[in-house]
Amino acid sequence: MKYHENVLDLIGRTPLVKMNRMVDANMATILMKMEQLNPGGSVKDRMAIHMIRGAEQKGLIKPGATLVESTSGNTGLGLAMAASVFGYRCVFTIPDKMSKEKIDMLKAFGAEVVVTRTDLQHDHPESYVEIAKRIARETPNAFYTDQYYNMDNPEAHYLTTGPEIWEDTDGKIDCLVGGIGTGGTISGAGKFLKEKAAEAGRDLKIICPDPKGSIYYDLFNGREPSDPSIYTVEGIGHDFMVGTLDFSVIDDVRPVSDRDSFITARRLAREEGIFVGGSTGTAVFGALQVARELGSGKVVVVILADAGDRYISKCFDDEWMKDMGFLGLEDRLGTVRELLQFKGGHVVFASPDETLAEVAKRMSELGISQMPVEQIDGHAYKMIHEVDILHSLISGSCTYEDKVACAATDLQGQVGLDAPLSTVQNIFDGNNIAVVIDDGKIVGVISKLDVVEFLAARS
């Protein structure tokens, strides 16, 4: 019979999945480490079970003990899942900024949950960390797992996450990208990968996108942290330095806004079919930047930290996004790149050698009323519109046998690939079509009907 002894055997050995629609050919390959596929739904399952086993081996917990932790939710879920299997009791403190889904899931595993205020300094007696420590002190047979200083946390990733990534990339990884909560994931996996890369004589970078308002960016750059401000992304960033974070393995920390994090998480669901949380949006936003910088031929691995089901009432709720000011008109409409990916197909060009007759014939066969003309020796693009052909024939300025150049006009209505679709709306005020330019090349032509069909499908 083929079966696992219990659900905890399913932790780890998560796959790498290639990103397709959110990247282009000029970018490095992005491989996504699917940590949301762990049975508890996040990367934290690995360190949760490792902290419990470590405490058991050190004789710090006995059967029937109470595990206490201050958590943004996922460590709690990993601990609660393991506690259900091993018969431990759980008490968690969690700041009220965290999603209702996470709090309900913790209770579903049978844990006791104490919701605390988010807007308190970490050393305030009513902060989630201090309350947890107090509960652990005042509860008989209790153990505070203390994820922010427990070195079993990064060790779990040194022993599992790092080796899996090295093995599954055949050692060809050029950059690991991941967020920093306790720093356990990136410090443990990063340390292992840096060691392997050094052995193999390869250069490997560790880059950490971090929420704007977290102190890690300043600390990493050796600056006195400016006053931490509350940000909305959950699970990463912090307002105090922790023991489990090893800056020596990290090459860069990059601030990312809540809006970019949430918009990216929503795009992952809509363009890659991957349902993950806001902190993964932060990481992937950074990974897309890095992949553009490194260029094609390089390999970037990004950690997908947790599943999206715990944020239905948050970044996947349009009303919440609008209320929070993260979803403006332009976001609701999407981007030019999304429309072109939806539309598919390729741009039909007219050749400079074609006559007006030949172009007109192709236009009617294809049911289109304009075409960009292929560049001649790098000269600027031109456009040939059926209306200009008509005018030139009626005015006699051209004949049917003349080359397209006779009636071609300068390019109008140009728009970038990553521009919000709302930009195209303005172009349509004066033009029938918008011409999409990327890297100086025409990569798409958008008509009003294309936008209508895209928005209809999107809604």
Cα 219 to Cα 216: distance, rounded to the nearest angstrom: 5
214 lines the binding site for ligand PLP (CB under 6 A): no
The residue behind tokens 């809604």 is: 459
Name which of 66 and 214 has its Cβ closer to ligand PLP: 214
For residue 251, which phi and psi values (nearest 5 degrees)?
Answer: -95, -25
Residues with Cβ within 8 Å of 452's Cβ and at least 6 positions away in sequence, in order, are none
40 lines the binding site for ligand PLP (CB under 6 A): no
Q: How far apart are the first and last CA of the chain?
A: 47
Cα 254 to Cα 178: distance, rounded to the nearest angstrom: 11
Cα 332 to Cα 334: distance, rounded to the nearest angstrom: 6
Is 44 an annotated catalytic residue?
A: yes
Binding to ligand PLP in span 215-244, by CB under 6 A? 234-236
Helices marked H in 268-396: 278-294, 318-323, 329-333, 336-343, 356-366, 386-395
Name which of 66 and 282 has its Cβ closer to ligand PLP: 282
Binding to ligand PLP in span 233-292, by CB under 6 A? 234-236, 277, 279
From candidates 29, 99, 145, 182, binder to ligand PLP by CB under 6 A? 182
* Cβ neighbours around 313 below 10 Å, total: 12
Residues with Cβ within 8 Å of 164's Cβ and at least 6 positions away in sequence, in order, are 12, 13, 14, 33
DSSP structural state of residue 281: H
Strand 142-144 relative to strand 66-70, pairing: parallel
For residues 398 and 424, is the Cβ–Cβ distance under 8 A? no
State in angstroms the smallest separation of the CB of 232 from ligand PLP: 12
179 lines the binding site for ligand PLP (CB under 6 A): yes
161 lines the binding site for ligand PLP (CB under 6 A): no
State in angstroms the smallest separation of the CB of 37 from ligand PLP: 14
Name which of 74 and 93 has its Cβ closer to ligand PLP: 74
Selecting among 33, 44, 102, 298, the annotated active-site residue is 44
Chain residue at closest Cβ approach to ligand PLP: 235
For residues 110 and 341, is the Cβ–Cβ distance under 8 A? no
State in angstroms the smallest separation of the CB of 306 from ligand PLP: 4
From candidates 69, 239, 306, 338, binder to ligand PLP by CB under 6 A? 306
184 lines the binding site for ligand PLP (CB under 6 A): yes
Lay out the site mask for ligand PLP across 58-77 (x = CB under 6 A, - = otherwise).
--------------x-xx--
Give the binding site for ligand PLP (CB under 6 A).
42-44, 72, 74-75, 179-186, 234-236, 277, 279, 305-306
Task: Give catalytic residue positions.
Answer: 44
